[in-house]
Chain A
Amino acid sequence: MQLESILNKYFGYSNFRPGQKEVIENVLQGQDVIALLPTGMGKSLCYQLPGYIFDKPVLIISPLLSLMQDQVDQMKQFKEKRVIALNSFLNPAQKRTTIHYLHNYRFIFISPEMLLQEHVQQKLNSMELSLIVVDEAHCISQWGFDFRPDYLRIGQVIGKVNRPPILALSATATTKVLRDIESYLNMDGPYKFIHSVDRPNIHLGKMLFQGREDKIDWIMDHVSKSAGPGIIYTQSRSKTESLSGRLLQAGISCAAYHGGMDPLDRQFIQQQFIDGSLEWIVATNAFGMGVHKQNVRQVIHESLPSNMANYMQEIGRAGRDGKDSLAILLYAEGDEEFAKFVGIDDYPVDAHVDSYLSYRSRNEQPSSMIQNGEISETAFRVLDYWMNQLQPAEVRQQLTSMKYEKMRAVEEVMELIDTNKCMREKLVHYFGQTLDNTPNDCCQCCGMDYGKIIHRRENDATYPHLLNWKDRIEILLLGNS
């Protein structure tokens, strides 16, 4: 069958988007592939479609639990039943059964941590896979050296010989990250499809302020006058709550979103955002990859993102329908120091290395450091990984250079603030590409008028009217009558 007719049969689309067909053809020929396609371009299809041609399971390694869950939900909506997410949501009994029947699924989503577990390994070794996908593959570099060292081990467990082809997907990889992906995954002369990272319909604004409070005042004013839907990114959980609280007070339909929230709240926010009853989301970077809303018109960064890749991912939530959208980066003096501090705050330090060694010498589990409140879980993961790879003195060096890396990453974002040349060009250059076309109203530096890109806010009371419980449950069950 022609690929186009398969596309139509299973997904109902009539044409491939740029890159999809090339990637799929190579995958079908058993070739390793690295595909760099911009956010929202349709990377998932690059493994979903082959899944219907192969007769063996596709394994998808995915970094975030929530992302995995969303993807499984979406596929189930497309009536795919043979899809499973192997993650820590499952209880031990469910996990056992799932692993036992793993070969029966068409699509298997898995976290790198789970992939490394022994019984999962055994099962995977005993069955044949058609394709191994590493989604958001830039995490290998960005997070692997950072808080997800298990990403670095993926290559070790997949092995080199007798393995199915690997497909690495990302929207935001620099040339260095591309090299890291290739080497850490032991890829075999991969075919590369590198699309421009630029998203021409996202216009890049920035605003500079004296003090922190000035940013908040500006947001309050801006949001009450201009139309969403939009996302405001900020760096802490408490900030998401306080800022969204103020917006609620001002009569704007909005919600806070962060990693530590009630799972049901998370569902409600996604549902409200998609159905349009929620205009703004104030989020930490936990709200990012994999969020699907076509018509996000604005993304505002209240605080500096910790690196360019995050910035790219986060503004990439905007304008997935291809229409004009606005991303505004806010900056107040001293923000870069704050961003650096946040970046390295939860990081192992030399004292942790000493402590780790003394646990070892006393024949105790170094992981007790977590229970004893000496170190956070994420910091321990990083420490533990390196302590198993290097000599203590080298670990110290490694930690220092990683810290330095993180601070440098913030400085790179600062260049967007400092420059008076085209911001888009800076961004694209960062990813090792050149900008071919400069769109109209390109960026703050090229000159732009926000009013031409976004609309004025209409004062429609978006509030859900207050129903009492009797009426509400009746509407839920019997509908509006």
Chain B
Amino acid sequence: MIFHHILLQIFHNFNQERSISAPFHLLRGKRSGQTVQDVGIYQLHQYFGILPKLTRTKYNEELSTLIENQSLIVKDDGFYELTRNADEQLKKMQKLSLDGWHYRGNEHIYFARLSLIIQTLSHQRAGQMTFVPIQKDEQVQQWAKGFLKANQYKGGQLQPRLLNEIHSSLEQTNVEESGKNILILRLSGYGSSGLTWQQIGFQENMNDIDLQVIYIATLHNWMNIILANSEYFPLLHQMADGLRIKNPLTGSAFHSAELFNNGHSIEEISKIRNLKLSTIEDHIVELAMNEPHFKLEQFVSTVDIKKVFTAVDDYNTRKLKVLHEVVPHLTYFQLRLVLARGEQDAT
């Protein structure tokens, strides 16, 4: 159910302007120009890469259910339509917020650290220092060791402090209780093993993929709280520090962005890097999407930005071709920049 809602929301944002495969690539976090730019154009940051292991078979299965319950109509050309039924559901559904674009799977590193630290502290409290570590990754193990030493775990004071931080930070995290329960059931300690996904699904009466999504959403929201209030949660902050990606640009785009930020023009960058102008433009669009301080006005006037968004509303589209007809004096590059920026500059 939850996953279906997410799919509907994504389809809704895509505004019937992409194929039925687009949500699949988005959820898996495909690092192609198209998918990445769509994130900006259709404001899909939340969902990017939240299910990197989603299989095509599973995805198709879920689509079939949406078709069966008459939320979605797939057309011959591979595009789709949302039905009135879907609109109803979208209105009623409660929003689950995610932050896929900024975590990119790093939430799992946070959880791995946390679970190994909890396991260790739990055993230490019980006076049992030999146990099989629940996390096998050598890097996570090294990190946890460093953390425990730096925070003087031997004194026995770390347990209550960490407990306090977890209690109050999770308390402030605005997600359903079931999400928090799931998360804590994935931890193990002395004399108390965590539960498998199957066991949790049975207990909470939820299917696999919904569990995954709630789990990820809970982690994202929790980490956002921790990172925004680091002074109150110093221990958890150490575990989450640096895992939210501030500059999520891809390799090549990253280099162009650096040159751009150092004052080079698009033409210059194209010469320096010996890349096509259009490629550099792609990079600048990506930068615009990701850099909160990016000044859109250096490329498009405020008046024109307004015009674009009026056109988006009037014609209910984000298709470049249509928008270009409405505001023909803007280039495709300018249009893409405005869309990538999203509503944030229009207000």
Residues in chain A within 8 A of chain B (CB atoms) = 69, 73-74, 76-77, 79, 89-91, 94, 241, 244-245, 248, 255-256, 261-265, 267-272, 275, 277, 464, 466, 468-470, 472-479
Contacts and interface: CB of A to CB of B under 8 A. Distances in A.
B126 A268 contact: no
12 contacts: A245-B198, A248-B198, A261-B196, A264-B135, A265-B198, A268-B194, A472-B185, A473-B166, A473-B167, A475-B192, A479-B126, A479-B190
Chain B interface, DSSP helix/strand/loop, else mixed: helix
B260 to A, nearest CB: 31
Contact of A244 (B121, B131, B193, B198): B198
B54 to A, nearest CB: 14
Contact of B132 (A77, A94, A261): A77
Contact of A268 (B138, B160, B196): B196
A268 B163 contact: no
A479 B160 CA distance: 11
A256 B159 contact: no
A73 B134 CA distance: 10
Contacts of A261: 196
Contacts of A476: 118, 122, 187-190, 192
A470 B168 CA distance: 10
A474 B159 CA distance: 9
Contacts of B197: 262, 265
Contact of A256 (B183, B184, B185, B198): B198
A315 B288 CA distance: 62
A354 B83 CA distance: 49
A473 B188 CA distance: 10
A478 B191 contact: no
B194 A264 contact: yes
B145 interface: no
Contact of A277 (B126, B136, B193): B193
B146 to A, nearest CB: 15
B134 A468 contact: no
B307 interface: no
B193 A271 contact: yes
Contacts of B137: 89
B199 A90 contact: no
Nearest to B186: A264
Nearest to A257: B196
Nearest to B133: A73
Contact of A69 (B136, B193, B199, B202): B136
A469 B132 contact: no
B271 interface: no
Interface string B115-126: 100100110011
B195 interface: yes
B316 interface: no
Interface string B25-63: 000000000000000000000000000000000000000
B130 A268 contact: no
Nearest to B142: A94
A438 B252 CA distance: 73
A73 B181 CA distance: 29
State the 6 A-B residue pairs at the shortest beta-carbon distance, nearest first.
A476-B189, A271-B193, A469-B184, A265-B196, A469-B180, A73-B132
B162 A477 contact: yes
A91 B186 contact: no
Contacts of B196: 255-256, 261-262, 265, 268-269
B122 A94 contact: no
B184 A472 contact: yes
Interface string B96-124: 00000000000000000001001001100
B125 A478 contact: yes
Nearest to A476: B189
A466 B134 CA distance: 22
Given A77-B130, A479-B125, A479-B126, A469 B181 contact: yes
Contacts of A475: 189, 192
B203 interface: yes
Nearest to A267: B134
Nearest to B193: A271
Contact of A94 (B138, B181, B193): B138
A263 B136 contact: yes
A473 B194 contact: no
A464 B194 CA distance: 10
A474 to B, nearest CB: 6
A323 B191 CA distance: 26
A474 B184 CA distance: 10
Given A255-B199, A263-B136, A468 B181 contact: yes
Interface in B238-264: none
Contacts of B192: 464, 472, 475-476
A268 B193 contact: yes
B222 to A, nearest CB: 11
Contacts of A473: 118, 163, 166-167, 184, 187
B136 to A, nearest CB: 6
A267 B188 contact: yes
B177 interface: yes
B323 interface: no
Given A256-B198, A265-B197, A271-B188, A89 B160 contact: no
Given A248-B199, A469-B183, A476-B118, 5 more contacts: A94-B139, A248-B198, A464-B195, A473-B118, A479-B126
Nearest to A78: B130
Given A241-B198, A466-B203, A470-B167, A478 B177 contact: no
Interface string B155-167: 0000110110011
Given A89-B137, A245-B198, A268-B193, A478 B159 contact: yes
B170 interface: yes
A478 B162 CA distance: 10
Contacts of B118: 473, 476-477
Contacts of B139: 91, 94
Contacts of B170: 469
Nearest to A270: B132
A61 B181 CA distance: 41
A74 B202 CA distance: 31
Contacts of A69: 136
A411 B125 CA distance: 55
A90 B136 CA distance: 10
